[in-house]
Every structure is written in structure tokens, then in C-alpha cells.
Amino acid sequence: MSEKTEPRRALGRGLDALLPVSAEKAPAGFGDKSVFLCPIERIVPMKGQPRQHFDEKALEELAQSIREVGLLEPLVVRKTPPIVGAPLAMGDRYELIAGERRWRASQRAGLKDVLVVVKDVSPAAAFELAMIENVQREDLNPIELAEAFSRLIKEHNYTQEKLAERIGKDRTTIANSLRLLRLPVVVRERVMKGELTEGHARALLQVPDDGDLAKLADKVVRGRLSVRQTEQLARKTKEGKTADGSPTTPGQKSASVRDLERRLSVALGTRCEIRDDGGKGEIAVHYASLDALDAVLDKIFK
């Protein structure tokens, strides 16, 4: 007598749980798990799907592969309500759950029809499945992953522990990922573009001020600093020191700002000040009389 094994949860098994063994064995019609060739124009991407960034070079390489050998893996979709007032010839519409990158590449490759498998799920469940698919493929960049974790926690009322169990990750991984959402938007964009790694981003989180953090991120990118160098620089910034280790005082201007003030003063013939606050600020141009102001304006507008 063979020993019975405990069945695994469907989500723990990933998208394999959604796909039938073959198209021939799929149920008839267009219900749950049915497989058929679908006109590509009847498929629409999921709104707010986890993956937001698609590498153009990689997308074109996949499109070329599809031109040569076709689409080898079906897209996972769910049926959506038809468009009100649309002609019957328009047919049903299907929202992508998994495979947007393959769908985009198939469009580039000129495919008219693609193989799809239909999953009968709610929009919320569809997002969860899309999330799991991307996590299992390691398709999301660190910021997309953090935003997806955050959305799942809010929309499904998960704790970090429950979410970790649901997607097969350690709770510490979830917590560290969510910390990345504390980064300023401009720094998050650098991570999404691949200019900064997740290691760089975590190192930068040591800096409490968003303005200082954004400046430091720019310096890391321009200087192509390693994660270790970034950690050291972030620590010095947090402790109130300049990059060379000398202490700073509140309001002290950097050498580059002072140099720019000097150049402006020479160019306009009067004292100029730059007041910066976290990457935003103003330029003050001093004048002693209206004649002096006219002279400055003449230099600016000439």
C-alpha cells in the first residue's frame, strides 16, 4: 500500500497548477483551463500588473526567437466582459495573467493568433497569480517586486509572514524588499532602470534625508561606485561628514556650490547666492541700486 502524500496548495505549485497537460486534454469550450488559439488583438494587458519595465533589447531578442520557432508556451488569461456596444464580430476579450512579455514580443513578431489557457478567476486573484508567476521567473526588478508585495499586503490583508508563506519566500526577504519603497521616487527610477542595484539601494537607505540620499545616488551612478563604497559613503553622510571624512555643519555649502556662486558672481558682476534644500532651492542675485539691477538684467537678457 503506497503512502499518501499531502497535496500541495495550488499557489505553492505556481502556474503549473493552472495549465492542463496538453491542449488536446483541455475541456471543451472556453471555460476554466480551456486552451485555444486566440486572435492577439483580443488580448489586453492587466491594469496595474506587477511588471512595469520591459527591456527593449531583450524584447526584440524574444521577438526574433518567436519569428523563428513560434510561441512555445501559452499565455495565461482570464475572460473579461465584452465591450459595451462593440460588434459581435469583435468577440470575447481576455486579460493577461501571465505572459505579457511574450505577448508583446509576439506582436512584434507579427503573430496574428497565440495559444492561451483561460483561468476563471477574479481580478484580485489574477493579480496574485501574476505576482507569483513573476516571482518564480525572477522577472521583476527590485522596485516592482516591492510594490507588488505592498499591494498584495494591502489588497489581501496579508501579514508579512502570511505573504512569505504564500509565495515561498523568507519573511526577512519581504521586509527588506518593502524597505526599498522608502527611497525617493527619483532613486527608485534609477533602480528600475538598472543604474543602481538592490545592494546599492539598501546601502543608500542609511541616509535619512531624501535630498542627501538623491544626491548620493547620483554620485554613486556617476562614479560607478561599488556597493561597499556606497555603504561607506552613506555612513559618512549619515554621520554628518563629507566624502573625504571631514565634518560638516548644518547649512555648510559644498565646494561645488561655492564655486558655482563665485562663477555666477563674476559673470553678473554682483554677489550671488545659491540656497539649496534637498535638491530644490533658489538663486539670489544681490544689487545695491536700480542702476546695478539694470546692469545685471542687461547681462542676463543679452
Burial group, residue 39, by CB count within 10 angstroms (0-12, 13-18, 19+): middle
Longest CA–CA span in the chain (Å) reads: 104
Whole-number pLDDT of residue 247: 47
Q: Is 100 an annotated catalytic residue? A: yes
Helical axes 185-192 vs 210-223, angle rounded to 10°: 30
Listed residue (106, 92, 82) closest to 36, CA to CA:
92
Over residues 238-261, mean pLDDT: 62
Grid cell for residue 141: 526588478
Our CA angle for 96, 100, 104, nearest 5°, is 125
Domain boundaries, the chain: 11-140, 183-238, 255-301
How far apart (Å, rounded) are the C-alpha atoms in residues 41 and 107?
Answer: 9
Query: What is the pTM for the complete model shown?
Result: 0.54
Multiple choice CATH, 11-140, 3.20.20.70, 3.90.1530.30, 3.40.50.1580, 3.40.50.720: 3.90.1530.30
Which residues, listed in sequence order, are joined to residue 96 by a DSSP beta bridge? 77
Residue range 173-220, pLDDT digits in tens: 889 999 999 998 899 999 988 899 999 999 999 888 888 899 999 999
Q: Which of 24, 60, 95, 100 is catalytic?
A: 100
Share of the chain above pLDDT 90, in %: 14
